[in-house]
Amino acid sequence: MAASPLSRLRVFVNDRVQRWARRRQGPDHAPFPLERRRIYILPTKFGVAYAITVFAMLLGSMNYNNSLGFALTFLLAALGLVVMHHCHRNLAGLVIANVQAGEAFAGGWLKLAVGCENPSGVARFGLRFECLETVADLPHLPAASPALATLELPAETRGVLRIDRISVSTGFPLGLFRAWSWIYLPVEAVVYPRPAGEQAPPPSAESDRGALGLTRRGDEDFRGFRSYHPGDSPRRIAWKALARGAPLLVKDHAGATRAPLIFELGQVQSRDLERGLSQLCRWIVTAEAQLNPFGLRLPGVLIAPESGAAHRRRCLTALALVGAEQPRAAA
């Protein structure tokens, strides 16, 4: 269905306003306060109706020369001006500390955390953060306190999702006015392929002499501690010993384990790229959950076998960027 002329006009005006605000404000660098010059305020529909009512009361008071009518009219007009001041003040000086994006798989939700601080001695109320038509409300921000607002954005497809703009607004105290500001903190989030597929993982690599039958570190019997080596899983670190001042040690277990796994697209039965990446993603997630070291081989990419959360993120990021085009912008 073709968009109506009014809808096209609204989109055109909104786009021009956004470009003007971006040129006027420039890029932001956290942390930064919301200065008065970058806070915009307009009456809401309820505020316009309120103003029309006050104006009608003024006309009626002038027509009948009613002193009580004048008093009530001016009282309501003064109330509107006070509300406008408090609505603007509710945003002025708010500090945007940081914006961080979490992990997400295609078809899921990406959590975007907006950290803010209230350095003033007055509490703030009714703050609302918006991005990609997703809303996170912060009903109460005490004086001299930090807070965190979490937006859950739809992660539709894999790749890099660039978040260019976040808006923060308020209608406090009576909803007669809406004050808002735009946050231009460039944030790039990586959306991993959706883990899917029923194919069993490939067998472990074997040495040239055949199956590895020697005793290797495994998960059967605890036999002591050893020094930490890069790539060791954080789950094996002796955190209690480290807290007591001991060096960084790793729990060592005796038992036979499989050799490191090497995942590549050629091992997937499906010829479809997205299905192949989803299958590799599932193998990686399963291998990490089972504490099996694994590596990844893709066109132009070779990641040596390791384990741990950082290695998992590196492999999943490589999957997400296969054939990736320019980052998609979210505003």
What residues does each domain of the chain span? 24-192, 194-212+259-323, 213-257
- Please tell me what DSSP assigns to residue 132: T
What is the structure's pLDDT at 230?
60
| Range picked from 23-27, 36-40, 177-181 for highest mean pLDDT | 177-181
Q: What percentage of the chain exceeds 90 in pLDDT?
A: 57
Residue 127: is its pLDDT beyond 90?
yes
Looking at per-residue confidence, does 16 or 127 come out higher? 127
What is the structure's pLDDT at 260?
81
Whole-angstrom distance, CA of residue 77 vs CA of residue 302? 69
Mean pLDDT of the 28-52 span: 94
Q: Which residues of 108-147 are buried (b: 16+ CB within 10 A; e: fewer)?
A: eebbbebbbbbeeeeebebbbbbbbeeebebeebeeeeeb
Residue 79: is its pLDDT beyond 80?
yes
pTM for the predicted model, two decimal places? 0.77
Whole-angstrom distance, CA of residue 205 vs CA of residue 258? 8
Average pLDDT, the chain: 85
What is the structure's pLDDT at 5?
80
What stretches of the chain adopt beta strand conformation (E)? 32-33, 40-43, 95-101, 104-105, 108-118, 124-131, 134-141, 145-155, 159-163, 166-170, 177-183, 187-192, 216-227, 249-255, 261-264, 294-298, 301-306, 328-330
Neighbours of 211 (CB within 10 A): 11
Mean pLDDT of the 49-63 span: 96
Domain spanning 24-192, CATH class: mainly beta
Strands 134-141 and 301-306 come out as unpaired
Mean pLDDT of the 264-270 span: 89
The pLDDT confidence band at residue 222, using thresholds 50, 70 and 90, is low
Mean pLDDT of the 272-301 span: 91
Q: In degrees rounded to 5, what are phi and psi of residue 76? A: -70, -35
Mean pLDDT of the 209-222 span: 44
Residue 243: is its pLDDT beyond 90?
no
Residue 210: is its pLDDT beyond 70?
no
What is the structure's pLDDT at 326?
47
Residue 100: is its pLDDT beyond 80?
yes
DSSP symbols for 1-19: -PPPHHHHHHHHHHHHHHH
- Please tell me what DSSP assigns to residue 126: E
Two structure tokens written together for 83 = 């509300």
What is the structure's pLDDT at 41?
96
Mean pLDDT of the 82-99 span: 95
Residue 208: is its pLDDT beyond 50?
no
What is the structure's pLDDT at 28?
85
Residues ≥6 apart with Cβ < 8 Å to 57: 69, 72, 73, 76
Mean pLDDT of the 157-173 span: 92
